[in-house]
Chains A and B, each alone.
Chain A
Amino acid sequence: MPVSWTLLIVLALALAGYLATRARAVAQTGGDTRKLHSRPSYHGWNAALLTALPALFLIAIWRFVQPAANTTLVAVAGLALAALGLALALGRTGPAFRARNAVETMVKGLLILCSSIAILTTAGIVFSMLFETGNFFQQYPWQDFFFGTTWSPKFGGGSQLGILPLVWGTMYISLIALAVSVPIGLFAAIYMSEYASPRLRSIAKPAIEVLAGIPTIVYGLFALITVGPLLRDYFAQPLGLGASGSSVMTAGLVMGIMLIPFVSSLSDDIINAVPQSLRDGALGLGSTHSETIKKVVLPAALPGIVGAILLAASRAIGETMIVVMGAGASAQMSVNPFEAMTTITVKIVSQLTGDTDFAAPETLVAFALGLTLFVVTLILNIIALYVVRKYREQYE
């Protein structure tokens, strides 16, 4: 590959530049390095960075923006830039040259660049989806997308792509998941921070956190092979509510298990942050332990707990693998929790995997779904982070 060869040559040039410039700096002072403003290695680094950085950036950006570009042309331009940087650095070296300051400025520039990658990622997410969503709305009216109640994509034209059944499925599943995880997570957090002996705490806290470290595909498989058949055979079929292994209930229950650690560890932190003096005051007035918790600690911690629940909700809405494997794929609006329904994330996966035609609205709709998902979770996250941060400041 010519590109990797070019990179290797640039790096070799940088190394050569380091050695040559350092030697030159030492030679210019006749071996007495005290006469230099900066230590010799800084002169070397200056040359190495000047050689490598501009050339590497040029190659990377060129390759990314214009993938079909002539590789020889790119290589020649990159090498020329590297040589230019090397010559510049060699020429500037001297006892009075502030090499350290130059190097530090460059390094700082690099650090700033790295920290703006976060911004670039967000911008990339927004722009990539906005662009394709725009394309989608040119082919499909936005009113029908946001207010349509039928989801039936047909890869031949004439599809109906209303988001409402997907929103319904997403909300329903998230609601069940929260109904499972919030009470369990909250009570677990209360018990661990207020009642548990250090020994129990040292076992239970890591054990619950293991639940958070398990990949979602494992939960998905659990839903598919264990929970789904179990619910179908012992609840749905005897009650006459349905015969489908994948259902809203399956996905919701399993997702609820997944969310327990999110709720519990955040609430645990928040409950621990409530000042001890509040508890002491309540206990001193003669309230029992549980009354102290219910009437004093929880109200004081409420904003933080709400934040934790919002974060969990955002997780639930954006969760993919559990619903792909546990909830089914039929887009419908039903109140029966034992019926298969589908979510926004499931449809993103199904519209974007397999053979896709990026001009058809059936494919482009995935970007509109993705953008909707991104905006909703973003709003939830911002509110949650704001609430949690505000709450932390309250007692600091």
Chain B
Amino acid sequence: MSDATFSGGQKASLLVADPHTRKRNAAESRFRGYGLAAIIVSMVMLVVLLFTILTGGLGAFRQTYLEIPVTLDAAQLDKSGTRDPEAIKKVLTLTYGKILQQALDKAIADKGIQVADLSDKDRAGLISKEASAQLRNRVLADPELIGQTVETRVLVNGRVDGYYKGRVSMESAARDGNTSPAQLQLADALKAQGMLATTWNWSFLTMPDSSDQRPESAGVGIAILGSLYMMLVVLVLSVPIGVAASIYLEEFAPKNRWTDIIEVNISNLAAVPSIVFGILGLAAFINFAGLPQSAPIVGGLVLTLMTLPTIIIATRAALKAVPPSIRDAALGVGASRMQSVFHHVLPLALPGILTGTIIGLAQALGETAPLLLIGMVAFVKNFPAAPPDGLFDPASALPVQVFNWTQRADPAFMERASGAIIVLLVFLLCMNLLAIFLRRKFERRW
């Protein structure tokens, strides 16, 4: 009876699968294949994503410099001869540019470098516009240098730098108004003499942003500092508030409508689009409370509000994981409820709270959209002061700096943007590793 579905009355061998079974087995392996493919696709995406960012951004950590002796002519830089800082300050960057130019011309002549079709503009354009400002700062810091001949590391033009990183070629230079094949040949000749080299670029991590014309000197110094300040604000505000809120909700709150509303609210806030928090920050902190634009304090406050739900959810989970026997034992020896929580439950939940906090902070560090609305995209050239006053100075933030650079015309800024992403990812990696380490080391299971 049960084999009524088999046609022809022929009993199939147990060892040979009938067509129906074969179909079912094929469907089985197909389904399995889809699953495996999905996992492989997502892992490949991860690898491709990280690979493109890394290959695009590593160039930002290397920079081409020209190493030439520069004669700091006292007649030009300090006419009074008194080495009075005020008098030296009156000498403009332009003069230093001329001095660098003379030094380069002298170096070219000394080494007997000949390049066909080399115009004056090409020679002048080899040196970055930022180099003269850097030289001026160096002299202002140490007026004794005037009159001496010092070995100076001079930034070269972003196009020449790009030439050694494969971004600019002889062909593209021929079409480019900002460089020329002759200029690149000059750079090659200088390189052959050992005066030009592409080396590790610390200043990418320490220098401020630079204007559109000088990608070679742009750095993430202010952005790192601004992000750090914001994280400081987030840490100081969100941890106490978040932990206090979780303690109340988990340990003391009666089950009523009010606490229900709070709970639904918190899970909702965790899913509200981040840009909405930016609008809140703009309306409440800048327009209403009158805090300054692009200040880390405003960014920190906005990110605090965003991070709070994450921290509250993590802290509540950590508190929930502490077994009730701990509370019962504390209450049993006469502790009040407050004492049982603060003396016993909270210390035991601390590792979980720390892990959740770090993950929340990592999220806040990478957040961009709300910061755009509170003016963090502004061009900032001066480092903010030390906290607490510095919290009110204009600053940038790492993710916003990335966005800022992607909006610039010069392709050299794309490399800088990818480089800044690498810095950001390194910070995130460190924070997540710390969280994993804390979890492994202190996690207790009851």
Most B CB contacts (10 A, CB to CB) among A4, A115, A119, A319 go to: A115
- Docked pose: A260 CA to B278 CA in angstroms: 25
Most A CB contacts (10 A, CB to CB) among B312, B402, B418 go to: B402
| Chain A residues closer than 8 Å to B261, beta-carbon distance | 119
Out of A217, A260, A381, name the residue touching B399 (CB < 8 Å): A217
B272 touches A374 (CB 8 A): yes
| Chain A residues closer than 8 Å to B367, beta-carbon distance | 215
B377 touches A353 (CB 8 A): yes
- Docked pose: A221 CA to B43 CA in angstroms: 19
Report the minimum CB–CB distance from A62 to chain B (whole Å).
Answer: 11
Looking at chain B's contact residues, the main secondary structure is helix
Tell me if B52 counts as interface (CB < 8 A to partner A). Answer: yes
- Docked pose: A134 CA to B241 CA in angstroms: 32
Place the interface of chain A in its size category: 35 or more
- Docked pose: A229 CA to B268 CA in angstroms: 37
Report the minimum CB–CB distance from B268 to chain A (whole Å).
Answer: 5
Return the CB mask of B242-282 against A: 1 if under 8 Å, else 0.
Answer: 10111111001100000001101111110111111111101
Tell me if A166 counts as interface (CB < 8 A to partner B). Answer: no
Out of B43, B284, B369, name the residue touching A320 (CB < 8 Å): B369
B52 touches A226 (CB 8 A): yes
Q: A225-B56, A349-B369 are in contact. Are A320 and B38 (CB under 8 A)?
A: no
- Docked pose: A195 CA to B30 CA in angstroms: 13
Report the minimum CB–CB distance from B179 to chain A (whole Å).
Answer: 22
Most B CB contacts (10 A, CB to CB) among A210, A216, A320, A381 go to: A320
- Docked pose: A358 CA to B52 CA in angstroms: 41
Out of B37, B308, B425, name the residue touching A218 (CB < 8 Å): B425
Out of A114, A315, A318, name the residue touching B245 (CB < 8 Å): A114
B residues 356-394 near A (Cβ < 8 Å) are 362-363, 365-369, 372-373, 375, 377, 388-389
Tell me if A188 counts as interface (CB < 8 A to partner B). Answer: yes
Q: A116-B262, A224-B406 are in contact. Are A188 and B35 (CB under 8 A)?
A: yes
- Docked pose: A119 CA to B248 CA in angstroms: 14
**Stretch of B21-29, B63-71, B108-116, B141-149 lying at the A interface:** B21-29
Return the CB mask of A272-297 against B: 1 if under 8 Å, else 0.
Answer: 00000000000000001111011000
B275 touches A345 (CB 8 A): yes
- Docked pose: A116 CA to B253 CA in angstroms: 12
| Chain A residues closer than 8 Å to B312, beta-carbon distance | 118
| Chain B residues closer than 8 Å to A200, beta-carbon distance | 39
A residues 156-194 near B (Cβ < 8 Å) are 183-188, 190-192, 194
Residue of A nearest to B422 (CB): A218
| Chain B residues closer than 8 Å to A67, beta-carbon distance | 289-290
**Stretch of A46-54, A82-90, A124-132, A332-340 lying at the B interface:** A124-132
**Stretch of A28-36, A103-111, A138-146 lying at the B interface:** A103-111
Q: A321-B369, A349-B275, A367-B279 are in contact. Are A220 and B248 (CB under 8 A)?
A: no
B residues 1-55 near A (Cβ < 8 Å) are 24-25, 27-28, 30-32, 34-39, 41-43, 45-46, 48-49, 52-53
| Chain A residues closer than 8 Å to B277, beta-carbon distance | 125
Q: A188-B39, A289-B28, A378-B268 are in contact. Are A370 and B276 (CB under 8 A)?
A: yes
B38 touches A118 (CB 8 A): no
A381 touches B42 (CB 8 A): no
B279 touches A121 (CB 8 A): no
Tell me if B298 counts as interface (CB < 8 A to partner A). Answer: no
Tell me if B432 counts as interface (CB < 8 A to partner A). Answer: yes
Q: A67-B290, A183-B38, A216-B366 are in contact. Are A195 and B273 (CB under 8 A)?
A: no
- Docked pose: A175 CA to B305 CA in angstroms: 29
Out of A215, A358, A381, name the residue touching B368 (CB < 8 Å): A215
Q: A124-B280, A128-B280 are in contact. Are A213 and B362 (CB under 8 A)?
A: yes
What 6 pairs between A and B have smallest CB-CB spacing?
A318-B273, A215-B366, A191-B35, A128-B283, A187-B38, A111-B248
Q: Spell out A's residues near B (CB within 8 Å).
A: 1, 4, 63-64, 67-68, 100, 104, 107-108, 110-112, 114-119, 121-122, 124-125, 128-129, 131-132, 183-188, 190-192, 194-196, 200, 204, 207-208, 210-211, 213-222, 224-226, 257, 260-261, 264, 288-291, 293-294, 311, 314-315, 317-321, 324-325, 345, 348-349, 352-353, 358, 366-367, 370, 373-374, 377-378, 381-382, 384-385
